[in-house]
Structures are given as structure tokens and as C-alpha cells.
């Protein structure tokens, strides 16, 4: 089942951006940059690890380095449940 971005944030996921440097397959002395962004759980980053495992297994470009930035966009103090509904005509 696919969750919306908001539902993932309520479950503790935060926006993760990875800057991936890799060697070009035809020119291994040159580096290329790939930017990956997805909702993930810090500090273990299971979604990013799965993507990097896929990269190592299926793609020709050898990984050089990965830099990670992570931010939880919705925290416990930023939202609260509403117990009633006010209808205006």
C-alpha cells in the first residue's frame, strides 16, 4: 500500500536528499553527480540503503561517495488532532 507524503511524515519519515558521486563507466577517472530525494527514516535510512544496493547490483557506475541531508518536516509539536468540526454557512 502506498502512503502519501503527509502520512509518511506522521510516521516519523523525513525528507532525505542524497548527493551521489559515481565514476562514469566509459571514463572511470571522471565523476558524475546524481541527486536522489525520497522520504526515509533516520538514522538507518532503509530506503536509501535499498536504492544504493540496487545501484551497486544493477548499474555500471561505481559509487565514489554519498552525502546525506535529512530533515523531519512535521514534528510532534507541529500538529494536533481536532476533536470537532465547525461548519459555517
Give pLDDT tens digits for 3-25.
Answer: 888 888 888 899 999 999 999 99
Q: Given this model, what pLDDT does residue 10 score?
A: 83
CA distance 44 to 46: 6
| pLDDT digits 0-9 by tens, 24-57 | 999 999 999 999 999 999 999 999 999 999 999 9
Cβ atoms of residues 1 and 31 within 8 Å = no
Contact by Cβ (8 Å): 14, 70:
yes
Kindly indicate the confidence band of residue 1, based on its pLDDT and cuts at 50, 70 and 90.
low
Whole-model pTM: value is 0.77
Amino acid at each position: 500500500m502506498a502512503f502519501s507524503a503527509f502520512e509518511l511524515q506522521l510516521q516519523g519519515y523525513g525528507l532525505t536528499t542524497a548527493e551521489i558521486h559515481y565514476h562514469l563507466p566509459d571514463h572511470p577517472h571522471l565523476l558524475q553527480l546524481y541527486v536522489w530525494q525520497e522520504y526515509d527514516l533516520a538514522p538507518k535510512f532503509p530506503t536509501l540503503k535499498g536504492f544504493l544496493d540496487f545501484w551497486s547490483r544493477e548499474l555500471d557506475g561505481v559509487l565514489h561517495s554519498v552525502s546525506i541531508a535529512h530533515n523531519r518536516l512535521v514534528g510532534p509539536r507541529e500538529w494536533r488532532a481536532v476533536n470537532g468540526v465547525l461548519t459555517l454557512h
